[in-house]
Amino acid sequence: MMPADPDELPIAPAPPPHGRSRRHFRSAPAVTGGLHRFPNFGHFRELQWPSALANINFRKYWLSQIVALGGGWMQNVGMQLVVLSLTTSAFAIGAINVVAALPMLLFSLYGGVLADRFDRRRIVIISLALLGGISATYAFLIGFERLEYWHILVLAALAGLIAAFELPAQQAFVSELVPKRDLPQAIALNSASFNATRIVGPALAATAISVIGLAGAFIVNIFTLLAPMLTLIGLGKVVPKRVVAKQTTSGLEQLRDGIAYVRANDGTYGLILLQGLVSFFVTPNLLVLLPLFTVDVLGGGNSWVGYMLSALGIGSLTGAITLLRGSRVEKAAENRMKLAMTGLCVGLVWLALAPNVWVAVPGVMISGFSFSMGNTQLATRLQQTAPEELRGRVMSLVTLAFNGVMPFSTLLIAWLAQTIGQPQVLFASGILLAAGIIILWRRYVHKAFDPNLAMVIPERIRVAYPNLTFD
């Protein structure tokens, strides 16, 4: 591991009360005097070259990810058009996302165990190769006009299974490329690239589709996946190999250790619950059913589907860039989370009340801004506080919270949208989300942003990992 800043090193643990110990640390240097202000757009005038990009290994990986994400968004738009050509049923569209999420619900926790036990870089390489195979299958079926609805269900399930192992490893791998002081910027940069490609991806997809048909978007995606694969293969020669302690317990026991650690720390537990709550109410409405809402409710044509996705990307990119210049002090991070959660509720209600596509665009941008800022800040805080030995398992719980609730929320919200109407469901989602956020914040989440946060280490974990690394 790379050395942490002196201000970031753990303070010696207090004597363990009742079989538990606490690790005290700060994720940022102490700041005295002055007020912690809400994030504002004046920071954009002071943007500098992010220090995380000074690390050549991370810079190579980040640039390769941009290439792959561009192809991924091209494929995503192509998929949206293919699905809409086969069905306009909200329930049928939701079912595709359900079968993709079910493998994550079942296997993502074990994916976190593997990310802590084995080489994360190799896990990501293998996963990308398998995803390329799925894209090739789509291109073949579309090109020869053999694609049917059940094909999409099967391939979506396979993609979800791969993601259950790839996402925890990918998220945890970033910490091996940058020192802890640059980790917030690295996560924000990943989010920024994700959302920047969301903006240009739909336009590139439209160009590819118009030239070589729907299969074109999938073919291009296969080649873009080669960029991160080749980069990761090259990094294997220069990035120090992570030292993994000899495994003396089973994978199931290690899974229990990760859950016990999260449950023992209210702040971490609250952030993961908050991620699940946001995913339940926001993901189906904003990411799954937005194309159908654009066409059927707002009266936009197929071209407006791409415009709405681009508006969502612009808002999301702005949210990610805001975090690049944001203060690393815990109070400022807490304010950003509050702003993001408020924006999500406002965005859902705005969309519910929008009479046409033009009025809906600002609501989509507010929702995208808040969704990106909230998810990125949440992931940053969890990465900052998670011990290296358990990082993969902590991030697998985030993956589970984000994707695992979708089999239930997507089916429910899609059914309600088809039964009582999407505007009514959007409005109710915004109100219920606000109520849930208030409850979780008061009970758990505020503890995650305590400047003197003390991590509780259960007895079984202290025995299994006597030298936990908080860096």
Nearest to 455 by CA among 184, 170, 260: 260
The Cα–Cα gap between 114 and 153 comes to 26
What DSSP designation does 3 have? P
Question: 258-309: per-residue pLDDT in tens?
Answer: 888 899 899 999 999 999 999 999 988 888 788 889 888 888 877 788 788 8
Over range 338-365, report the average pLDDT. Answer: 94
Nearest to 259 by CA among 49, 86, 400, 432: 400
Task: Report the alpha-carbon distance of residue 166 to residue 124 in Å, rounded.
Answer: 5
Question: Tell me, what's the pLDDT at 322?
Answer: 83
Q: Distance between CA atoms of 313 and 305, rounded to whole angstroms? A: 12
User: 134, 102, 111: which is closest to 221 by C-alpha?
Assistant: 134
When pLDDT is cut at 50, 70 and 90, the band that residue 202 belongs to is low
Instruction: Tell me how far apart the alpha carbons of residues 225 and 420 are, in angstroms, rounded to a whole number.
Output: 41
Cβ atoms of 385 and 196 closer than 8 Å = no
The contacts of residue 82 (CB under 8 Å, 6+ apart) are 142, 147, 152, 214
Mean pLDDT of 129-143: 93
Say if residue 399's pLDDT is above 50.
yes
Q: Is the pLDDT of residue 11 over 60?
A: no
Residue 21 parent element (H or E): strand 20-24
Mean pLDDT, residues 242-251: 67
In this prediction the pTM is 0.77
CATH code 1.20.1250.20 for 52-238+249-464: yes
pLDDT mean over 42-61? 72
Residues in the chain: 471
Name the residue ranges covered by the structural domains of the chain: 52-238+249-464
Residues 13 and 16: their CA atoms lie apart, in Å, by: 8
Q: Averaged over 253-262, what is the pLDDT?
A: 86
